[in-house]
Amino acid sequence: MTGRPGAAEAGFGEVLEAGGPRLAELLERTEARLAEVARSHGDTLGRHAGATLAAGGKRLRPILLFLCAGEATSDALVDAAAAVELLHMATLVHDDVLDRAPLRRGRPTVFATDGPAAATATGDLLFSRSFAELLRSRDPEAVRDLSRASSALARGELMQRADAWSADVPEERYLERCVLKTGRLFEAACRLGARLGDPGPAAADALGTFGAAVGLAFQIFDDVLDVSGPVERTGKHRGTDLLDGTVTLPLILARRADSGLRSLDLRAEVRTPEAAEAVCDRIAATGALTAARERALEHVAAAKAALDEASLPDRTRRALELVADGVVARYA
Amino acid sequence: MTGRPGAAEAGFGEVLEAGGPRLAELLERTEARLAEVARSHGDTLGRHAGATLAAGGKRLRPILLFLCAGEATSDALVDAAAAVELLHMATLVHDDVLDRAPLRRGRPTVFATDGPAAATATGDLLFSRSFAELLRSRDPEAVRDLSRASSALARGELMQRADAWSADVPEERYLERCVLKTGRLFEAACRLGARLGDPGPAAADALGTFGAAVGLAFQIFDDVLDVSGPVERTGKHRGTDLLDGTVTLPLILARRADSGLRSLDLRAEVRTPEAAEAVCDRIAATGALTAARERALEHVAAAKAALDEASLPDRTRRALELVADGVVARYA
């Protein structure tokens, strides 16, 4: 595993291939823009934001945005992709404060190097810069898409914290949280790609529906990976969500089959990584991981079906389908 | 002291009077809008955001915005005022997390009642809603003004944390921090009022300069109040900034006259409210409070002079001058 797992390492190599030189070039311009944002704030701020930006990631949201834009390559698309990625990063930096996380993607977090105050302010700065980037597009509807996603992220986070350690989170509420925490920003990325790219505003709803379903599948599969590993690919111990008190679909489904899991008190009984791994094994033994993967696949299918409503060139549609398939085949 | 010190109690009664029924009505509409924002997020979120909004405040930024708008009374102005106030509140909620503050304006903070995670997410939500409110105006330049202020707030916060406990913060750096933390949002409020109101975009620069200078004076005077009290009006112990490690103008100026203060190690020697009050007395003894108040008055004069560049009706100008005078006469 490298210090910076990108899209290819995460299993999106085929997507990058399908996107061709256009996608590669747009992603390069996005990296340059993100680096510029980091530099533009001088000394302390640049150092904090820079570390966060450099930690990189899959850039999955920019990839979706560019693919939804067809063959367009305008600067407005790069602005929007940078905006979406900055918003995503802002939430990661704040999450790291709340989780007191020492590392992210193998690098020290801003929280770890500079403390909670600097990390909170860095997240706020990334937030502001996200809107500033999108404002270059001078398209109020585009900014509105981002603003909706941004509210949803905060509401999803609040919901997750409110439900922490709660023994009986219903599946519906878990799904609502996934939509808010992940679905809405994927949706915004796709809407922005459509709106500012070749498909145009008329295709924003269909591509937004596609994005929301892909995001939901992504989050469910992420929650499966937290229980299943493989640890050497995900870079995290199994069961970190359990240690956090975050109840996700695998546990919700496993509880129906295993009465011992039904009466499990996470806060009292799952306090060490070893205890968390033991619960992961027990969840796996119920078949809940397979069932949760199937739910994720259903959302992938729904995402692909939503593409029928957008008249897309074959090449664009094929690339988007590869992303949808990719989110539930990561690290396979 | 009431649980909710408003503009009148803080010494802005004359301003409210000069603003007449128009200002009163616009402020009422702003309160209604803020209450609507709090309600619109249901359950947990509404409760958190609601508590913060209800805690109220002077609404000084909305007042400035409305006064800069001349006689206009459009909904766009109310949107903008709500946006500015929501952004201000977002930073207060995050500040309370960082300061681990139990109370604000006599009420328990979100941090105190629901913990750091809920408070961080609540701040993020208020942030997002701030942009959402302003987007109703469909004016990209207006959103840009807000975005600039929002970046500045985060940068000012980062600067303050970077300089904490630092023995020799230069006066210039202190002033830069005040501009970022306070001046830019006052500036944005005035620019938005001009842009969306009667004076129009052409007057935005002059009124923005006025706002920035008023904000700077406000912050300097706030820092004086932290040292001088009166405690029964400010509702805080004297010297809370010192206990935080935040070095402000009174200490910077006092150090020039008192070698004992020059060698003072805040982190080691100022650890109790009593020790902080003793340092406050020592700062006052050097005459630094008078000198700092004079600096604030210079910025008030600069603010008033900036109004020459905007051709304003006498009534508007007079009301703005009252605000400028008011920020350095609070709690007198």
Here the CATH number for the domain that contains residue B241 is 1.10.600.10
Q: List the single range of A68-72, A323-327, B24-28, B130-134 with lowest mean pLDDT.
A: B130-134
Q: List the single range of A207-211, B147-151, B283-287 with lowest mean pLDDT.
A: B147-151
Q: Is residue B2 part of a domain?
A: no
Closest by Cβ to B161, choosing from A118, A140, A143? A118
pLDDT above 70 covers a percentage of chain B that reads: 92
**Predicted model pTM:** 0.89
Q: Is residue A77 part of a domain?
A: yes
Helix, coil or strand: residue A155: helix
Contacts of A138 in chain B (CB under 8 A): 140
Q: Which residue of chain B is at minimal alpha-carbon distance from A42?
A: B155
Q: How confident is the model at residue B1 (pLDDT cuts 50, 70, 90)?
A: very low
Distance from C-alpha of B285 to C-alpha of B296, rounded to nearest angstrom? 19
Q: List the single range of A165-169, A188-192, A210-214 with lowest mean pLDDT.
A: A165-169
Q: List the single range of A63-67, B50-54, B248-252, B266-270 with lowest mean pLDDT.
A: B50-54
Tokens describing residue A234: 């995900």
Closest by Cβ to A138, choosing from B124, B140, B148? B140
Tell which phi-psi region holds residue A56, choosing left (phi > 0), alpha (psi between -120 and 50) or beta.
Answer: left
* Yes or no, beta carbons of A158 and B121 under 8 Å apart: yes
**Shortest Cα–Cα distance, B1 to chain A (Å):** 31
Q: How confident is the model at residue A4 (pLDDT cuts 50, 70, 90)?
A: very low
Q: How confident is the model at residue A3 (pLDDT cuts 50, 70, 90)?
A: very low
B100 CB within 8 Å of a chain A CB: no
Whole-number pLDDT of residue B55? 63
B154 CB within 8 Å of a chain A CB: yes
B272 CB within 8 Å of a chain A CB: no
Q: List the single range of B26-35, B230-239, B306-315 with lowest mean pLDDT.
A: B230-239
Q: Tell me the H-state helices in chain A.
A: 13-39, 43-54, 60-68, 75-99, 110-135, 140-163, 171-178, 184-196, 204-228, 231-234, 240-244, 249-257, 259-262, 266-269, 273-285, 288-306, 314-327
> Can the peptide bond before residue B230 be classed as cis, meaning omega within 30 degrees of 0?
yes
Whole-number pLDDT of residue A35? 87
Mutate to test the interface with B, among A113, A158, A176 (most CBs of B within 10 A): A158
Whole-number pLDDT of residue A45? 58
Q: How confident is the model at residue A192 (pLDDT cuts 50, 70, 90)?
A: very high
Whole-number pLDDT of residue A152? 93
Q: At A229, phi and psi to the nearest 5?
A: 75, -155
* Yes or no, beta carbons of B158 and A125 under 8 Å apart: yes
Q: What angle do CA B278, B283, B289 make, to 5 degrees?
A: 130
**Shortest Cα–Cα distance, B276 to chain A (Å):** 22
Q: pLDDT tens digit string along B110-137?
A: 788 877 888 888 889 899 999 888 888 7
Statement: residue A1 has pLDDT above 50: no
Q: Is residue B1 part of a domain?
A: no
Q: Which residue of chain B is at minimal alpha-carbon distance from A128?
A: B151
Q: List the single range of A45-54, A208-217, B72-81, B204-213 with lowest mean pLDDT.
A: A45-54
Whole-number pLDDT of residue B331? 64
Exposure string (b/e) for B125-164, b if CB count within 10 Å is 16 or more? Answer: bbbbbbbbbbbbbebbebbbbbbbbbbbbbbbbbbbbbbb
Tokens describing residue B148: 């600039």
Q: Tell me the H-state helices in chain B.
A: 13-39, 43-54, 60-68, 75-99, 110-135, 140-162, 171-178, 184-196, 204-228, 231-234, 240-244, 249-257, 259-262, 266-269, 273-285, 288-306, 314-327
Q: How confident is the model at residue B5 (pLDDT cuts 50, 70, 90)?
A: very low
pLDDT above 90 covers a percentage of chain B that reads: 60
Contacts of B232 (CB under 8 A, 6+ apart): B1
The full DSSP string for B210-254 is: HHHHHHHHHHHHHHHHHHH--HHHH-S-TTHHHHHT---HHHHHH
Whole-number pLDDT of residue B102? 80
Q: List the single range of A110-119, A317-326, B294-303, B304-313 with lowest mean pLDDT.
A: A110-119
Q: Which residue of chain A is at minimal alpha-carbon distance from B124?
A: A154
Q: How confident is the model at residue B175 (pLDDT cuts 50, 70, 90)?
A: very high
Report helix angle B204-228 to B273-285, nearest 10: 110
> Can the peptide bond before residue A230 be classed as cis, meaning omega within 30 degrees of 0?
yes
Q: List the single range of A46-55, B114-123, B183-192 with lowest mean pLDDT.
A: A46-55
* Yes or no, beta carbons of B124 and A150 under 8 Å apart: yes
Q: List the single range of B89-98, B225-234, B305-314 with lowest mean pLDDT.
A: B225-234
Contacts of B281 (CB under 8 A, 6+ apart): none
Q: Is residue A66 part of a domain?
A: yes
Q: What angle do CA A212, A217, A222 make, to 5 degrees?
A: 125
* Yes or no, beta carbons of A118 and B162 under 8 Å apart: yes
Of the candidates A273, A278, A246, A244, the one whose C-alpha atom is nearest the C-alpha of residue A261 is: A278
CB pairs under 8 A between A and B: 136
Distance from C-alpha of B67 to C-alpha of B312, rounded to nearest angstrom? 11
Q: Is residue A283 part of a domain?
A: yes
The segment with the largest mean pLDDT, out of A81-85, A121-125, B101-105, B242-246, is A81-85
Distance from C-alpha of B53 to C-alpha of B85, rounded to nearest angstrom? 9
| DSSP-assigned letter for residue B206 | H
Contacts of B17 (CB under 8 A, 6+ apart): none
Q: How confident is the model at residue A222 (pLDDT cuts 50, 70, 90)?
A: very high
| DSSP-assigned letter for residue A103 | E
- Could you tell me if B223 and B248 are in contact, meaning their C-beta atoms sit under 8 angstroms apart? yes
| DSSP-assigned letter for residue A58 | -
Statement: residue A5 has pLDDT above 60: no
**Shortest Cα–Cα distance, A21 to chain B (Å):** 33
Q: pLDDT tens digit string along B45-80?
A: 566 666 667 666 789 999 999 999 999 999 999 999
Statement: residue A321 has pLDDT above 60: yes
Q: Is residue B223 part of a domain?
A: yes
Distance from C-alpha of B246 to C-alpha of B249, rounded to nearest angstrom? 10
Helix or strand holding residue A107 (H, E): strand A107-108
* Yes or no, beta carbons of B150 and A124 under 8 Å apart: yes
Q: Is residue A2 part of a domain?
A: no
Q: List the single range of A64-78, A147-161, B199-213 with lowest mean pLDDT.
A: A147-161
A245 CB within 8 Å of a chain B CB: no
Of the candidates A329, A272, A274, the one whose C-alpha atom is nearest the C-alpha of residue A300 is: A329
How many CB atoms neighbour CB B115 within 10 A?
14
* Yes or no, beta carbons of B115 and A143 under 8 Å apart: no
**Shortest Cα–Cα distance, A225 to chain B (Å):** 24
Distance from C-alpha of B153 to C-alpha of B178, rounded to nearest angstrom? 10
Q: Which residue of chain A is at minimal alpha-carbon distance from B126?
A: A151
- Could you tell me if B312 and B199 are in contact, meaning their C-beta atoms sit under 8 angstroms apart? yes
Distance from C-alpha of B71 to C-alpha of A273, rounded to nearest angstrom? 64
Tokens describing residue B141: 């330049």
B237 CB within 8 Å of a chain A CB: no
* Yes or no, beta carbons of A120 and B117 under 8 Å apart: no
Hey, which residues 192-221 in chain B have their CB within 8 Å of chain A? none
Tell which phi-psi region holds residue B258, choosing left (phi > 0), alpha (psi between -120 and 50) or beta.
Answer: beta
Exposure string (b/e) for B3-26, b if CB count within 10 Å is 16 or more? Answer: eebebeebbbeebbebbeeebeeb
- Could you tell me if A158 and B48 are in contact, meaning their C-beta atoms sit under 8 angstroms apart? yes
How many CB atoms neighbour CB A222 within 10 A?
17
B129 CB within 8 Å of a chain A CB: yes
Task: Give bridge partners of residue B107 from the DSSP assignment.
Answer: B104
**Shortest Cα–Cα distance, A47 to chain B (Å):** 11
Q: pLDDT tens digit string along A256-305?
A: 999 999 999 999 999 999 999 999 999 999 999 999 999 999 999 999 99
How many CB atoms neighbour CB B236 within 10 A?
13
A118 CB within 8 Å of a chain B CB: yes
**Shortest Cα–Cα distance, B22 to chain A (Å):** 29
Contacts of B89 in chain A (CB under 8 A): none
Mean model confidence pLDDT for chain B:
89
Whole-number pLDDT of residue B108? 80
Between these two residues, B259 and A4, which has the higher pLDDT value?
A: B259
Statement: residue A55 has pLDDT above 90: no
Tokens describing residue A309: 């409503």
Whole-number pLDDT of residue B45? 58
What is the predicted ipTM?
A: 0.84
Host domain of residue A202? 8-326
- Residue B232, Cβ density class (10 Å: 0-12 exposed, 13-18 middle, ≥19 buried): exposed
Domains in chain A, number: 1
Distance from C-alpha of B101 to C-alpha of A243, rounded to nearest angstrom? 27
B159 CB within 8 Å of a chain A CB: yes
* Yes or no, beta carbons of A135 and B129 under 8 Å apart: no
Distance from C-alpha of A147 to C-alpha of B147, rounded to nearest angstrom? 12
* Yes or no, beta carbons of A157 and B124 under 8 Å apart: yes
Q: At B242, phi and psi to the nearest 5?
A: -60, -40
- Residue A71, Cβ density class (10 Å: 0-12 exposed, 13-18 middle, ≥19 buried): exposed
Distance from C-alpha of A3 to C-alpha of A20, rounded to nearest angstrom? 25
| DSSP-assigned letter for residue A272 | S
Q: At A103, phi and psi to the nearest 5?
A: -130, 150
Q: How confident is the model at residue B2 (pLDDT cuts 50, 70, 90)?
A: very low
Distance from C-alpha of A12 to C-alpha of A164, rounded to nearest angstrom? 32
Whole-number pLDDT of residue A114? 79
Q: Is residue A332 part of a domain?
A: no
Distance from C-alpha of A151 to C-alpha of A187, rounded to nearest angstrom? 13
Contacts of A144 in chain B (CB under 8 A): 132, 135
Between these two residues, A111 and B264, which has the higher pLDDT value?
A: B264
Whole-number pLDDT of residue B59? 92
